[in-house]
Each structure stands twice: as C-alpha cells, then as structure tokens.
Amino acid sequence: MKRMYDSEKHRRSIRLKEYDYSRPGAYFVTVCTHNREYLFGNVVNDEMTLSEYGKIIENVWYNLTGHYQNIKLDKFIVMPNHIHGIIILIDVDIVGAGLKPAPTDLTKYYPLSEVIRAFKTFSSRHVNELRITPGIPVWQRNYHEHVIRNEKELNRIREYIINNPLQWQFDRENPDRIVVAGKNVGAENLQPLHDEYIRFEEIIYGKK
C-alpha cells in the first residue's frame, strides 16, 4: 500500500559555507520521494523488500558509474520513501587515460549536483514508464548532502545505511515512527537504541 504525507516538506540542506561541492571527497546523500510517498517497497521483518519501482531505483543508482567517470559508489540502500547513498568524487586523469580516447561525456569532471540530477531524472523516467504516469514527480525537488570528513565518520555512516531497515521504526521519514518517551510501556528497552539513533540523525541532518 502506498503511504503519503499530506504535504511535501523539503529537508533542510546542511551546506558548509564556501564549500566547493564539485571537488573530490565523500558525500552522504539522501533523496526523498515526492510527498514522502511509499513507492519503493516495504520493511518486513527488519528487511527492505523492494517493489518493481524500488528495483528500478537500485539499478539506476549502480549504473551511474557508467555515465560518470569521476565517481565511485559506496554503501547504498533503497527505503520505502527515500534512498541513502555515499558518492565519492575522484580526480579524473584524462591525460594519462591511454592511447584510446575515452568518450567525451566520461572525461568531464561533474559536480555532485549534476550526478544527483541525473539519478533523479533517469529513475523518474523509468518509474513513470512502468506506471504509465508521464511527467508525474517521483522525487522531491531538494536533496540532502553531508560532507564526510574522515574515515571514522565514513564508517559510522556506512553502518547507518546498512542498518536503516532495522531502525525504520525510529526513522524520521517513517510517518508511523516510534517516539520513545521515558514513561512509555517498554521504553526501558527501546530508549537507548532510540536515543542513539536520533542523536546520529541530528548530527547528520540537524534537528527536525
């Protein structure tokens, strides 16, 4: 069953002042569906089960490296109404590429914004072809990016992505999420897990 929020609220983008988002580095990216609609499947028994649309999203993501030479893809997951992924922008050695010239579109250096734009465009097109809804928005207009500063943070974000289905009950994109209060029944068991998860989300996204 598809689930929707009543209105679309764009996630606040935490951008570093004067930071060049086209330069090499690792970025944690989150993109939500239009109106937070459930399109890509459901979390069942703490595991994500992809719908046909979700499988399209996954395929388009992993095919990005075939279009952009200056990126590497790290951990990634499709959730019911959003995706999380790590994109690493790398230097492209065009001069030393060899005797056989590479395709022009691959030898250019593209910023993060262009890679995400392409991902959203390609995936929207394929989803709308399948559901026969040309021109209907699949994604929200904005997206969230977070600059990954060091290896410790990289590993923590990798863990967050891998465990996202396990934490779906607390996820801020889940309209039925559990908000633990100290006096709730069973809160003594959920409180530490809930607090740790929310604390990490606030570090990455800011307070909601």
DSSP assignments along 54-80, one per residue? HHHHHHHHHGGGGT-TTEEEEEEEE-S
Say which amino acid occupies 97.
Answer: A
**Taking the model in full, what pTM does it have?**
0.78
Give 166-195 pLDDT, tens digit per residue. Answer: 989 888 888 887 775 544 434 445 555 667
Q: Percent of the chain having pLDDT more than 70?
A: 73
pLDDT of residue 76: 98
Give the gyration radius of the chain's Cα atoms: 18
Residue 35, Cα to own-chain centre: how many angstroms? 16
* Helices within the chain (DSSP H only): 52-62, 104-107, 112-131, 151-162, 187-205
Element (H, E) at 50: strand 47-50
Give 52-88 pLDDT, tens digit per residue. Answer: 999 999 999 999 999 999 999 999 999 999 999 999 9
